[in-house]
Chains A and B, each alone.
Chain A
Amino acid sequence: MTELNLVEAVNAALSCGMSRDDSVLLLGEDIGANGGVFRATNGLQARFGRERVIDAPLAEGGIAGVAVGMAAMGLRPVAEIQFTGFIYPTFDQMINHASRLRNRTRGRLSCPMVLRSPYGAGIHAPEHHSESPEALFAHIPGLRVVIPSTPARAYGLLLAAMRDPDPVVFLEPTRLYRLFKQEVVDDGEALPLDACFMTREGLDVTVVAWGAMVREAMLAAETLEGEGVEVEIIDVATLKPCDFDTILRSVEKTGRCVIVQEAPRSNGFGAEIAAEIGERALYSLQAPICRVAAYDVVVPLYRLERDYIPSVERIIGAIRGVMEGA
């Protein structure tokens, strides 16, 4: 057992994945000698060599594109995009090629690649370093979108992503990289994809969240426990394809649902969850579904980011609101 923070867990998963499968290789900007700007790939080039840990030219679209070509020829590339603000040039490749290659060729070629990136706000970063574009990827058929919320889940889910036969977009909450440590067993065991995690059980209200927001929801739940409110928390973990059944079962049990997302409110993934509940579990609801989200504004420069990110207080307010709506 080792106590690891989230970025160390990512590093451990990459190292384990590479040691167990020669077809796994890493590519990205500054991931070699520098070990990545967040050190996610620290020490890996020294261990696995320059051919398998590649300092790529500064060209995000090209990085994603060569990863598609590598994956189609039997490698399992894990491409790092340094920040999500720079991930948009990869859309062409991820949407037009990575997500479709298996379908277009009727399974003759496939694209088992992982596109990793630190994502989300909360680290006082410069402009374009704090984006939350998960819904943009989650709209695309053929992709998997995975977001861990703890070091152990980062380790297990990233291993699963590396072993998955289809392309995975793996978004790592930057804020959690070094926020806390957790015991992580570096045993090469993957966690299931396409499955939500029941993170906290409760009878009164379901809070659905992912990434850094799971931690905020936990803090809110601890506060509300003192008021006698039992909060159930579901960590979505895989947004695409999403395990709605687990969410619906929880909502049917509690009768209330608060969805928390760090991304802007409108057209976000929370809306998809709300729609599923509306279609399939409406009559279980004792109160309207509530979304807590960032505002529909450009991610502000960091002096205002604490006002932008959904806070524990806003989550508590939303939970109290749905409890009163009963």
Chain B
Amino acid sequence: MGLHESMDTQIELVQYLSVEGALLVPNAPVEDEKLVAFYEAMTRGRLFDGKAIALQRTGQLGTFASALGQEAVGVGVASAMEPRDVLVPSYRDHCAQFTRGMSMTECLLYWGGDERGSDFQQCRSDFPNCVPVATQISHAVGAAYAFKLRREERVAVTFIGDGGTANGAFYEALNIAGVWNAPVIIVINNNGWAISTPRSLECAAPTLAQKGVAAGIECRQVDGNDVAAMHDVARRAIAKARAGEGPTLIEALTYRLGDHTTADDATRYRDADLVRRAWTREPIARLRAYLLGKGLWSKEREALLLKRCGEEVENAVAAYLATPPQNATAMFDWLYETLPISLRSQRDAARRYSAGGSHD
């Protein structure tokens, strides 16, 4: 690029549905049946979310990271993936993971302190939740490279929060993704907060999407509470990656309506008016308004959905609570493929002095 050339770094926000649920584009770019399915999936996720918080509050679950208000990001993106693709989640992506096939019981086991929750029975190639911020992006890039090397038409999709994009690991991975033209989609779940630190104190750039500019990869910014827009942009990015045309960075503008986790109290740092205003833009009511307006949804269907999802959540909770603890020696079972000889005596000690789990 010569001195007189410049890059257009203007990134336009993609939005199909207004906050009132009106269609903002001439033709709905997502089929009606899909939108109904997304509505059901988002509702399912929200019901689960509420139950998980209730379980934590009653001492039946450990710390939990709610996705309240962010359901459209996970559902919109994951529904654009195929089973053969790979999801590399952060720790607030259960809406995406449910779409991929992770069971509610597995999710509860994970947050309930049991590693078996990450042994997904359906989405066997998906990565487990990633807690160290931003470190998961390079895993997705590496996975994508593996697909590319083997000439597999698979893509990797990964999520990161707005705060995570301040981390060096994010930039390194983004840069490598660009150089390798890796079939990877990196979704920034910009929910406005890195625990208590607002977006404005994390980054001075007008958009987080433009962080991809310096890495030479396509950058998109989407209304993250508009599941139609989220899905369509993700679908196009995935198709592009699958065709060998490289990575995409998608910034999803959403809002964290709940606390960072159940260990957090957002009232300490967040204005209540902000939250009230954010509730007017949330994804589920918006889509419901659209579907009702088109005659695609009804009170009867809503009641049936809530009943079905409620039963599913209760069944998952029952299965979670009925899952017997692992033996103490389970700590050693998967540390290495084969337990090294030098660790045998430690495993024996764990068995002898086992306090929590059941004995062998």
Same complex: yes
Chain A positions near chain B (C-beta within 8 angstroms): 25, 51-52, 56-57, 59, 61-62, 64-75, 77, 92-93, 96-97, 101-110, 141-142, 165-166, 194, 241-245
Picked from B124, B132, B168, B334, the residue with its CB within 8 Å of the CB of A103 is: B334
Knowing A69-B142, A104-B118 are in contact, say whether A61-B168 is a contact too (CB < 8 A).
Answer: yes
In the complex, are the beta carbons of B128 and A103 less than 8 A apart? no
A71 to B138, CA, bound (A): 12
A68 to B335, CA, bound (A): 16
A141 to B337, CA, bound (A): 13
| Chain B residue nearest in CB terms to A112 | B337
Knowing A73-B146, A105-B118, A241-B342 are in contact, say whether A92-B135 is a contact too (CB < 8 A).
Answer: yes
In the complex, are the beta carbons of A142 and B335 less than 8 A apart? yes
In the complex, are the beta carbons of A62 and B175 less than 8 A apart? yes
In the complex, are the beta carbons of B342 and A108 less than 8 A apart? no
In the complex, are the beta carbons of B142 and A66 less than 8 A apart? yes
A69 to B337, CA, bound (A): 18
In the complex, are the beta carbons of A142 and B336 less than 8 A apart? yes
Nearest CB of chain B from residue A236's CB, rounded to whole Å: 12
| Chain B positions within 8 Å of A67 at CB level | 142
| Chain B positions within 8 Å of A59 at CB level | 172, 175-176
A44 to B139, CA, bound (A): 25
A77 to B132, CA, bound (A): 22
Knowing A57-B179, A106-B119 are in contact, say whether A69-B334 is a contact too (CB < 8 A).
Answer: no
A70 to B88, CA, bound (A): 13
With an 8 Å Cβ cutoff, the count of chain B residues facing the other chain is 43
Residue B173, interface by CB 8 Å: yes
| Chain B residue nearest in CB terms to A144 | B336
| Chain B positions within 8 Å of A61 at CB level | 138, 168-169, 172
Q: Which of B121-173 contact A (CB under 8 A)?
A: 124-125, 127-128, 130, 132, 135, 137-147, 149, 156, 168-169, 172-173
In the complex, are the beta carbons of B340 and A194 less than 8 A apart? yes
A277 to B86, CA, bound (A): 47
| Chain B positions within 8 Å of A104 at CB level | 115, 118, 128
Residue B91, interface by CB 8 Å: no
In the complex, are the beta carbons of B175 and A103 less than 8 A apart? no
Residue B34, interface by CB 8 Å: no
Complex A-B: 6 CB contacts under 8 Å:
A62-B169, A66-B176, A103-B115, A105-B128, A106-B334, A241-B336
| Chain B positions within 8 Å of A56 at CB level | 176
| Chain B positions within 8 Å of A244 at CB level | 342
Chain B positions near chain A (C-beta within 8 angstroms): 86, 88, 115-116, 118-120, 124-125, 127-128, 130, 132, 135, 137-147, 149, 156, 168-169, 172-173, 175-176, 179, 333-337, 340-343
Nearest CB of chain A from residue B302's CB, rounded to whole Å: 37
Picked from A25, A66, A73, A107, the residue with its CB within 8 Å of the CB of B125 is: A73
A109 to B149, CA, bound (A): 19
| Chain B residue nearest in CB terms to A74 | B146
Knowing A74-B146, A92-B135, A241-B343 are in contact, say whether A108-B335 is a contact too (CB < 8 A).
Answer: no
Nearest CB of chain B from residue A310's CB, rounded to whole Å: 25
Q: Across chains A and B, which 7 residue pairs bring their CB atoms closest together, nearest first? A: A69-B142, A65-B138, A62-B172, A241-B340, A66-B142, A69-B139, A73-B146
Nearest CB of chain B from residue A138's CB, rounded to whole Å: 12
Picked from B88, B119, B132, the residue with its CB within 8 Å of the CB of A69 is: B88
Chain B at the A interface: mostly helix, strand, loop or mixed?
helix
A107 to B334, CA, bound (A): 6
Knowing A62-B169, A69-B146, A73-B146 are in contact, say whether A97-B337 is a contact too (CB < 8 A).
Answer: no
A67 to B342, CA, bound (A): 27
| Chain A residue nearest in CB terms to B170 | A62
In the complex, are the beta carbons of A65 and B175 less than 8 A apart? no
In the complex, are the beta carbons of B138 and A66 less than 8 A apart? yes
In the complex, are the beta carbons of B116 and A106 less than 8 A apart? yes
Nearest CB of chain B from residue A72's CB, rounded to whole Å: 6
Knowing A59-B172, A242-B342 are in contact, say whether A73-B337 is a contact too (CB < 8 A).
Answer: no
| Chain B positions within 8 Å of A69 at CB level | 88, 138-146, 156
In the complex, are the beta carbons of B173 and A66 less than 8 A apart? yes
A245 to B128, CA, bound (A): 36
| Chain A positions within 8 Å of B130 at CB level | 97
| Chain A positions within 8 Å of B125 at CB level | 73, 109
| Chain A positions within 8 Å of B334 at CB level | 102-103, 105-107
| Chain B positions within 8 Å of A71 at CB level | 142
* Further pairs besides A62-B173, A65-B172: 5, Cβ < 8 Å: A62-B169, A64-B138, A68-B138, A96-B135, A107-B334
A322 to B342, CA, bound (A): 27
Counting chain A CB atoms within 10 Å of each CB, the highest count among B149, B173, B336, B343 belongs to B336
In the complex, are the beta carbons of B342 and A97 less than 8 A apart? no
| Chain A positions within 8 Å of B337 at CB level | 102, 107, 110, 165-166
| Chain B positions within 8 Å of A74 at CB level | 146
Picked from B115, B127, B143, B342, the residue with its CB within 8 Å of the CB of A70 is: B143
In the complex, are the beta carbons of B138 and A109 less than 8 A apart? no
| Chain A positions within 8 Å of B128 at CB level | 101, 104-105, 109
| Chain A residue nearest in CB terms to B179 | A57
| Chain A residue nearest in CB terms to B116 | A106
Nearest CB of chain B from residue A124's CB, rounded to whole Å: 31
| Chain A positions within 8 Å of B145 at CB level | 66, 69-70
Nearest CB of chain B from residue A139's CB, rounded to whole Å: 14
| Chain A positions within 8 Å of B342 at CB level | 194, 241-245
Nearest CB of chain A from residue B102's CB, rounded to whole Å: 12
In the complex, are the beta carbons of B176 and A57 less than 8 A apart? yes
A300 to B223, CA, bound (A): 55
In the complex, are the beta carbons of B169 and A65 less than 8 A apart? yes
In the complex, are the beta carbons of A75 and B341 less than 8 A apart? no
| Chain B residue nearest in CB terms to A167 | B336
Counting chain A CB atoms within 10 Å of each CB, the highest count among B119, B145, B173 belongs to B145
